[in-house]
Structure 1
Amino acid sequence: MSFSAVNNSNKFLTMLIVASLSLSACATKPDRRGTPPKERQSNGPERASGIFLFPISGLFIGMDTNGDRATSFTEIDQGIKSEWATFERSPSAINFRKWSMENLGSTDASPSFIAFDHDFNGIISKAEFRSQIETEFEKLDRNSDGRLERSEMIVAFAAPQGERSRPSEEQGRPEGRGRRPRQ
Structure 2
Amino acid sequence: MPEPEPAGRRRLTTLLIIAGVLFALDLLTKCLAVALIDPGESVPIIGDVARFTLVRNPGAAFSMATGMTWLLTLIAAAVVVGVIRIGRTLRSLWWAIGLGMVLGGAMGNLVDRIFRSPGPLQGHVVDFVAIGWWPVFNVADSAIVCGAIALVALTVFGFEPDGTRSGRKHTDKTA
Pick the structure with more helix per residue: 2
Structure number with bigger Rg: 1
What TM-score do you get using the length of structure 2 for normalisation?
A: 0.24
What TM-score do you get using the length of structure 1 for normalisation?
A: 0.23
